[in-house]
Amino acid sequence: MLLLLIYILLDEVLVKEDFRIYEIIVAKYTSVTEDLTFVYKEISSLNTVESGYFVDVYEGKSTTIGIPETYNGKKVIGIVEGAFAKMERIDAISFPNTITKQTNIKNAFIGNYNGNCDVIETIEVYAEYTANLPKYLRQNVVNLHIYEGETIPTKAFSGSKELKNLILEEGLKTIEVQAFNSCTSLKDLVFPSSLETVKNNAFEGANATVIVFTKPSNLKTVQSAAFNSIGSCEKLYYGYKNSPDDWKSINIEKSFANLDDGFTNTSVFIPY
């Protein structure tokens, strides 16, 4: 059985017409079905990799794939080279947080992703593992759900020109240098209240038209050129903790091109 989780980017406090509403459907594994079948390979120990199971072969028919967190009472910690090589198309894939950062899945999809397949519509992954995803997955994703973790690594999705919809969950604190640089299709950005730091050039070239810092925002630092395409921004919602003046305490470098960095004198800045 697959659970389909629908995520809607909408804060009820704000005016609905000011937002595009995205419905991102991602798969979460609950039990094996005829269409979602994995063959596993047990790993007792691999130096820095803990014991558990690797996905050896995907034998399912579904193109919406939720990799399970556990099998036979142990964690699923990696994916074997060529495990998904038989697939001609993948629409959505969900990576569990049990897959360790030490495991390399670069060749797990070899055989189908050679530039001739359809774009993967949706990827669900935890923040710290995003840099481990094969470049061809990161470059082709359209809908991205980062469901857990504190830090999105440097250049994690830099140049992902197909990326349109981004969902960032509470708990995220730092977006590293050029993490979403040159994501030219990425229009609207909704940040969780837990976000503290957006580093250099993180969203440069993203062409954001709406930016939301969710209430109560913990934003502390916005580094140079973090939002260098902000000249196209129509509205920036700032969900303050105590008062709109909280914005003045944020360390903002020259980040918002063509607009006053303080935003207090523009119609774009909307505290709520």
Q: Which residues pair with 145 in a beta bridge?
A: 124, 167
Q: What is the pLDDT of residue 222?
A: 92
Region 212-227: what's the mean pLDDT? Answer: 93
Residue 192 has pLDDT above 80, yes or no: yes
The larger pLDDT score, comparing residue 47 to residue 69, is at 69
Region 176-189: what's the mean pLDDT? Answer: 91
The answer to whether the CB of 109 falls within 8 A of the CB of 84 is: yes
Q: What is the pLDDT of residue 35?
A: 56
Region 220-240: what's the mean pLDDT? Answer: 85
DSSP, residue by residue, 140-187: H-SEEEE-S-SEEPTTTTTT-TT--EEEE-TT--EE-TTTTTT-TT--
Residue 177 has pLDDT above 90, yes or no: yes
Evaluate if pTM is beyond 0.85: no
The larger pLDDT score, comparing residue 112 to residue 228, is at 228
The larger pLDDT score, comparing residue 176 to residue 266, is at 176
Q: What is the pLDDT of residue 118?
A: 47
Region 42-49: what's the mean pLDDT? Answer: 59
Residue 16 has pLDDT above 80, yes or no: no
Q: What is the pLDDT of residue 171?
A: 95
Residue 132 has pLDDT above 90, yes or no: no
Region 209-228: what's the mean pLDDT? Answer: 91
Q: What is the pLDDT of residue 265?
A: 61
What residue type is assigned to position 111 of the chain?
Answer: G
Residue 263, phi-psi category: left (phi > 0), alpha (psi -120 to 50), beta (remainder): left
pLDDT over 90 for what percent of the chain? 27
Residue 102 has pLDDT above 80, yes or no: no
The answer to whether the CB of 26 falls within 8 A of the CB of 230 is: no
Q: What is the pLDDT of residue 103?
A: 72
Residue 13 has pLDDT above 80, yes or no: no
